[in-house]
Chains A and B, each alone.
Chain A
Amino acid sequence: MTRAERQDLNGNVTGKVTLLIVDDHAAFRSFARDLVSAAGFSVAGEAEDGESALTAVESLRPDVVLLDIQLPGIDGIEVARRIADEPDAPTVVLTSTREASEFGARLSMSGARGFIPKGELTADRLTELVSNGRP
């Protein structure tokens, strides 16, 4: 079910929010899948690098992308920037084992909804960030 199929007449998303997990560590993807599923998200798919993330966004049309910054090839911030350039772009939440300060101004210019350090990633933080209005 694509996003368009889950929108009512007013354009509000109905049903489960779909989410794409992008991380090059299989163990983290597996953990994140459990975490977001428990929080009521529907996992649309997984990707392990920047290129396949962009393809997956194109084909799966998820509502949310949980995007690791350190990826092989193009990094998460660049992926977020390219996603944001697309029409009807999904909400992007960036995450990393590094602290936000290490990325500096690049984070705020990425077009992502927000950043959650991996160590602080919980279902609540994610839901809160996704359900809040755009900053």
Chain B
Amino acid sequence: MKLREAPKRRGDGGDLPEVGDGAATRASTHRAEAAVGLVDRVLWAAYRRLGRHYLPAMVFGFALVLVPGGSEFANWIHGSHLLPGASRTVLWIEIHLVVTATAIVTWLRMWPTTAAVRRWWRTGRPDARAPAVWTSLSTLSRKGTVTFIVALLAIDTIGTVSMAGALNEGIRGTLSSLLGSTFLASGGMVLAYFLIELVVRPVVFDAASRLPRDFRPQARAIPFGAKVFGSLLGASWFACGLGLWIGSGDEPLAELLAPGLLVAGVTFVGVLLMTLLITRALKRPMDDLIRMSRQAGTGDFRARAPVASADEQGELTASFNQMVGDLGRVNDALNVSRARIVAASDEARRKVERDLHDGAQQHLVLAQLKLGLLEREISDDERARKIANDLRGELERGLQELRELARGIYPATLESEGLPGALSEVAERSPMDMTTDFDSAGRYTRELETAVYFCCLEAIQNATKHAGDGAQATIRLRSEGGALRFELVDDGVGFDASSTSPDGGIQHMADRLGAVGGELKVRSAPGEGTTVSGSVPIVASPSARGGDR
């Protein structure tokens, strides 16, 4: 097991990994577990112990440490005169009441989701409620974050107002206190965001690793700009608030309102501008990389992202460019190799077919002809004639089987007549009711004709086998837009193409077409027949073919 393998991430808000196998895979859970280091291991251990009580316990635990810790810190800065002993006790009680209430609310909010997910894990099968469970799960992280932030703000407001009341600050003083504490709380929120992400990760990873592949994470991502803006503003306000509070010394809190508002406004505008600058500088290269990756994902490896700087970003872009280039070259080599293998296999087929005709079949035909001579010689002998007659039957059956075998290996008609002739012959021989519709009688390269022929043959054989009794089929050939397209449409029983993975035959067809740069599509639904279609780019049309026999 790799210890530092980065977890696969998708989006930002949910931080859900790509789901592995449909079965509950402990392996992927372990990988995710190992990926995020010591803190996560501690959290995982807690998660395993606490189960569905994990999240509320975390909220309660953090709030218990952070909020009183924060207020003690503030008291330490201002000196013990800020709060008289009695008020301090009241504030302490208030804070703990709010924290307890928050934990209970969090537990209640999280409980249906975690309970449903755990029930699902226990039974091991996604039931009718599965999508609902999944939706809840994908919002789990967001839910936790929002709950935490709301709790922090609530505690902050209640604490500040009660503190200002205890000090008889008046409305202006209370507002000023609120402003100062909001500065501090906004910094707390940034902290909370990352904290919650960390805390929720074990639950989400574990859940996601157990989910079937079909249930893809639908987490809503937080845009990059919003993250930068939130972090910067939170950090700035936190620093400003702390500075104002400490700098004010023994001045009445009311005096801090005007400079506090000014600082808040200026910081807001400054952060906004910085966000735009940072986002612009970082996001454009990221967008380029995303665009290039997507293009490469579709099989087009020509795209390159501009390397605009010599820093880490530039290095990343350059290495990405190199990676995509390498991928392209490997892909090209693979395609050439695949085409070569298919061509070699087709050539071998042709050779075997020729050998059968020129070798075994020649001898059998000659034997048949000589048997004719013999039959004339022994026409008086009843018994000998009967034996010769039996022998003729055997010979004819052998020859017929040999012809069928040779035709199956490689049809001579394809060489002489091209696709329309060869496919018409297949349609005629097929036990299925089959019509042909060809608008293209042209000749193409041998590779293209062979690929299309064997794909159609496979499709026809599949239709004959699976379409059901009385089904009819039409086979079409069209030359349009620089590509040769074929289609086999049957009105048979069909199948659920969305849930059936391609079998060997279909994969073989796709491989064959892929080797000549083409692609295959299979559309089907129960009771609605099946359509197998494909298209191959036309490379060149040889003027004359078939003169090499």
The listed residue (A75, A97, A103, A106) touching B365 by CB distance below 8 A is A97
A78 vs B544: C-alpha distance in the bound complex, in angstroms? 12
B412 x A98 contact (CB < 8 A): yes
Nearest Cβ on chain B to A14's Cβ, whole angstroms: 29
User: Chain A residues with Cβ under 8 A from B547's Cβ?
Assistant: 74-75, 78
What chain A residues lie within 8 Å of B412 (beta carbons)?
98, 102-103
Quick check: B549 and A104 within 8 Å, CB to CB? no
Nearest chain A CB to B544 CB, angstrom units = 10
Is the CB of B23 closer than 8 A to any CB of chain A? no
B residues near A25, Cβ cutoff 8 Å: 362, 366
B365 lies within 8 A of A118 (CB): yes
Contact count band on A: 20 to 34
Complex contacts, A122 vs chain B, CB 8 Å: 372
Given A28-B362, A106-B546, verify A118-B369 contact (CB < 8 Å). Answer: yes
A80 at the interface (CB under 8 A from B): no
Q: Which of chain A's residues has its CB closest to B418's CB?
A: A104
Chain A min CB distance to B409 (Å): 13
Chain B residues with CB below 8 A from A105, complex form: 417
User: A104–B365 contact, CB under 8 A?
Assistant: no
Residues of B contacting A97 in the complex (Cβ-Cβ under 8 angstroms): 357-358, 361-362, 365
A101 near B362: Cβ-Cβ < 8 Å: no
The docked-state distance in angstroms from the alpha carbon of A134 to that of B413 is 27
Q: Roughly how many angstroms separate A31 CA and B365 CA in the complex, as a whole number?
A: 11
Q: Is the CB of B416 within 8 A of A106?
A: yes
B413 touches A102 (CB 8 A): yes
Of all chain B residues, which has the CB nearest A107? B416
Q: Mark A46-59, 1 if CB is under 8 A from B, else 0.
A: 00000000000000
A84 to chain B, nearest CB (A): 16
Complex-state Cα separation, A101 to B358, whole angstroms: 17
Nearest-CB residue, chain B, relative to A71: B549
- Name which residue of chain B comes closest to A95, CB basis: B365
Given A70-B358, A97-B357, A97-B361, A104 and B421 touching (CB < 8 A)? yes
B462 → chain A, closest Cβ, in Å?
25
Q: Is B383 an interface position by the 8 A CB rule?
A: no
Whole-angstrom distance between the Cβ of B373 and the nearest chain A Cβ: 8
A75 touches B549 (CB 8 A): yes
Q: Inside 8 A of B87's CB, which chain A residues have their CB? A: none
Tell me which residues from 504 to 549 in chain B have a Cβ below 8 Å from any Cβ of chain A: 546-549
Residue B162 at the chain A interface, CB threshold 8 Å: no
Check B368 for interface membership: any CB of A closer than 8 A. yes
- Does A27 make an interface contact (CB < 8 A)? yes
CA distance A74 to B417 in the complex (A): 18
Q: In whole Å, how far is B245's beta carbon from the nearest beta carbon of chain A? A: 96
Assess the A27–B357 pair: CB atoms within 8 A: no
Task: For chain A, residues 77 to 117, give those with C-beta under 8 angstroms from any C-beta of chain B.
Answer: 78, 97-99, 101-106
| B195 to A: closest C-beta gap in Å | 78
Assuming the A-B contacts A69-B549, A122-B372, are A103 and B366 also in contact, with contact meaning beta carbons closer than 8 angstroms in the complex? no
A121 at interface, CB cutoff 8 A: yes
In the bound assembly, the distance between CA atoms of A96 and B361 in angstroms comes to 10
B365 — which chain A residues lie within 8 A by C-beta? 97, 118-119
A101 to B414, CA, bound (A): 11
Residues of B near any A CB (own CB < 8 A): 354, 357-358, 361-363, 365-366, 368-370, 372-373, 399, 403, 411-413, 416-417, 421, 425, 546-549
Q: Which 9 A-B pairs have the closest CB atoms?
A: A104-B417, A102-B412, A104-B416, A118-B365, A97-B361, A75-B549, A119-B365, A97-B365, A103-B416
Give me 6 A-to-B residue pairs in the complex whose CB atoms sit less than 8 angstroms apart, sorted by A's number: A75-B548, A97-B357, A98-B357, A103-B416, A104-B417, A104-B421
A-side residues, CB < 8 A to B, are 24-25, 27-28, 31, 34-35, 69-70, 74-75, 78, 97-99, 101-106, 118-119, 121-122
